[in-house]
Structure 1
Amino acid sequence: MRTRYSEDEVAVRDAFFDFFANECPTTTVRAAAEGTGFDPALWSSLAAMGAPGMALPESLGGAGAALTDLAVVADVAGAHLAPVPLIEHAVTARALARAGGHDELVAKLAEGSTLATLALRPPTGDTARLVPAGAVADVLLHHCDGVTAISQGNAPGAKLPNTADLPLAHRVISDATAIDLDANGWNRTVDEWRALTAVAYVGLAKRAIEIGVAYTKERIQFGVLIGTFQALQHGFADAATSVEGAHLLAQRAIWALETDQPGASRLAGMALLFAAESARFAADRSVQYHGGYGFSEEYDIQLYHRHATAWILQLGDPAAEYARLADAEFGPVKGAA
């Protein structure tokens, strides 16, 4: 595997970095949080860039790019807290493309005119709970009792209040249509979500550190810049080291999924958990070094802290993810309930 982006990937990253820098300032993130947590204008612009379908086959309207290319965009989107469900949409579209028989729908997903998401948790009865982008998605992919299905229909159009202003919502499942995607195919889809979300976490964490460092270079206490205090420097160094490790692990998970390596699922889970921990640590350091300002809505760092805490919760309790990984690596604990 490669530990750094290729020349082509750097070009993709730079193009999308410029895009998000221009189209997704923090004012856009804040404005989206007042509604559903989704910015339709940003999504339309992102679709015009080809992002929704970049990792879909060309025969279905996509660009035929690799998962590694999509990860580059996820990194930059995470750094800007982009209020669009790019990852959920992309992995759902890829799952439908693998299942086959949904060419017309996949083509719409590739162009971004139809928005898709997946229920990361099994539905309870006829309801999928806390679905990421559930408040805005047109197509819902879900899996229960070994059957993967899609439901199409209008999104509820109202958000579920939560601490990170994500467009979460309960979705009532109706008119579900089973698709040719078995449990392994479903697990692959969720693993892609894990790995891409890990990459987005890395982007978030790096930006949180940048914001914190910039603040400590301007804030004066005791007659000196607080950035000269070694205690703060050590905190940033620890955060940067952790984030770099998360970056390497996320890249390995993406590579393992792309090349169907043994243990790819475990790597995806490990990458998500470690990236989430690293991002929370980085955002926490930056918030603390802002002092009381770090908790003020006027400062951007609180946005990063809140999203760092919330993203992984879309999958459920992180403790369950740790237990899943432990069971996969060492086998179930004897006597465990």
Structure 2
Amino acid sequence: MDRYELRRQDYSLSADQTELQAGYAKFFRSRCSLDTVRAAEAAGFDKQLWEQLCATGATTMALPEQAGGDGATLVELSLVAEELGRVIAPLPWIDHIVAARLLARLGALPTGEPGSAEIVDGTRLLALDTRVDPVTGVRLIAAGSVADEIIVRDGSEIARLRFDTRPAKVDNIGRLPMAWVDPAAADHRTVLATGAEALAAYDRALDEWRVLTAAALVGLIDETLRIAAEFATTRYTMGVPISTLQGISHPLANIAITVNAARNLNRRAAWFLEHEPGIQPALPAAAFVYIAEEAPRAATMAVQVQGGLGVATESAASAYLVRARGWPLAAGDLGASAVQVAELFAAASA
């Protein structure tokens, strides 16, 4: 029997994977309260929390063993991403590990070389240009204001940039440590690779970013559902909880369906991208487009369930809403991902 025959249809978690997710859920619940998130909004980054996360091995686990990592698959990484999104943690963990995995894929993260160990353990933070519609010149980088190094696609080249003074953070709806970055203005620029194979490796990195960001959005929306449902069961009208009203219960049920559908699609995308990337190449973009479109709708409904409280700036639901809208924008135009899905399906059926 083909060793993947059953796994192509069964994406249930193993006992080890369940334990891994539970461990990171506990970590984030204990260290990343909403107050912590609010306090980090000015910078878009909590350095102390980042160091605590790195101490758990969250960056090391993401890398292959030949690069000094622990060889976790995208399925395991998506479980961590889901818990990160559940608490809307102000951490560019996804950007860092995807960029580091790209360096490893390009042979630019050799064990024992100066700087490699610091990238593996998260001491040196990486950013990645995550726009799926390639641009030249100045571009917005999601973690550009806090990264020690930035990996970009510049024409047919994959380049590594360093600035003596980090680019300034720009305000953004997703509360990300985002910055305008001009590759031509970098104080240090190293070409890592060039040509078709290099661009293919970069496209693989973008697929990984979309899978992990989609997982984070799943956790985010799952938590907005919890917030809204808890509110609806404790608020009464005409002597009954508002959760018993069809105008409340049915939309909340729709959010639950969205969460389950997005989680299943995303785990399928993670599994195929890790093990058989050429079999279902449209899955990463499809999973990302689906949750990127559904997350703002679900978060908006969670806000509406709470009425006036939901739109207050101090409301937890409003904090989740702005990130549901803002985090996918790091990929640039969502339509570019949708077009890619269509093109891949068209190519497969030709």
TM-score (norm 1): 0.93
CA contact (8 A) 1:164 1:310 kept: yes
State whether structure 2 residue 86 is matched by structure 1 residue 74: no
1:281-312 deviation digits (Å, cap 9, x = unpaired): 22121111011111101210111111111111
CA contact (8 A) 2:86 2:216 kept: yes
- Pairing partner for 2:32 from 24, 42, 50: 24
Aligned to 1:294, the other structure's residue is in SS state coil
- Pairing partner for 2:311 from 279, 283, 295: 295
CA contact (8 A) 1:135 1:155 kept: no
The alignment of Structure 1 onto Structure 2 pairs a total of residues equal to 328
State whether structure 2 residue 26 is matched by structure 1 residue 10: no
Cα deviation for residue 240 of structure 1 reads 0.8
1:213-254 deviation digits (Å, cap 9, x = unpaired): 001011123332211212211111111112211111100110
Computed over aligned residues only, the root mean square deviation of the Cα atoms, in angstroms, reads: 1.6
1:1-337 aligned at under 5 Å gives the runs 1=7, 2-33=10-41, 35-103=42-110, 104=113, 105-121=115-131, 122-125=134-137, 127=138, 129-154=139-164, 156=166, 158-173=168-183, 174=186, 175-180=188-193, 182-330=198-346
CA distance in 2, matches of 1:93, 1:304: 28
CA distance in 2, matches of 1:197, 1:162: 17
CA contact (8 A) 2:170 2:179 kept: yes
CA distance in 2, matches of 1:94, 1:308: 26
CA distance in 2, matches of 1:262, 1:61: 27
CA distance in 2, matches of 1:101, 1:242: 39
CA contact (8 A) 2:282 2:341 kept: yes
1:66-115 deviation digits (Å, cap 9, x = unpaired): 22111110010011101000100001000101111432333211111000
Cα deviation for residue 183 of structure 1 reads 1.1
Shift in alpha-carbon separation, 1:256–1:124, aligned structure 2, 3 A: same
CA contact (8 A) 2:82 2:217 kept: yes
1:137-185 deviation digits (Å, cap 9, x = unpaired): 1111111222111112346263201222111101232222111361110
Aligned to 2:313, the other structure's residue is in SS state coil
CA distance in 1, matches of 2:44, 2:65: 31
CA distance in 1, matches of 2:52, 2:163: 23
Cα deviation for residue 263 of structure 1 reads 4.6
Structure 2 gaps, min length 5: 1-6
TM-score (norm 2): 0.89
Amino acid at match of 2:191: A
CA contact (8 A) 1:97 1:106 kept: no
Give the share of equivalent positions with the same residue, in percent: 37
CA contact (8 A) 2:136 2:155 kept: no
Structure 1 gaps, min length 5: 332-337
CA distance in 2, matches of 1:265, 1:120: 18
CA contact (8 A) 1:36 1:159 kept: yes
Moved more, 187-196 or 164-173: 164-173
Aligned to 1:291, the other structure's residue is in SS state coil
CA contact (8 A) 1:61 1:111 kept: no
Shift in alpha-carbon separation, 1:154–1:50, aligned structure 2, 3 A: farther
Cα deviation for residue 322 of structure 1 reads 1.4
Cα deviation for residue 6 of structure 1 reads 1.3
Cα deviation for residue 276 of structure 1 reads 1.7
Aligned to 1:37, the other structure's residue is in SS state coil
Amino acid at match of 1:51: A
Cα deviation for residue 55 of structure 1 reads 1.6
CA distance in 2, matches of 1:219, 1:65: 44
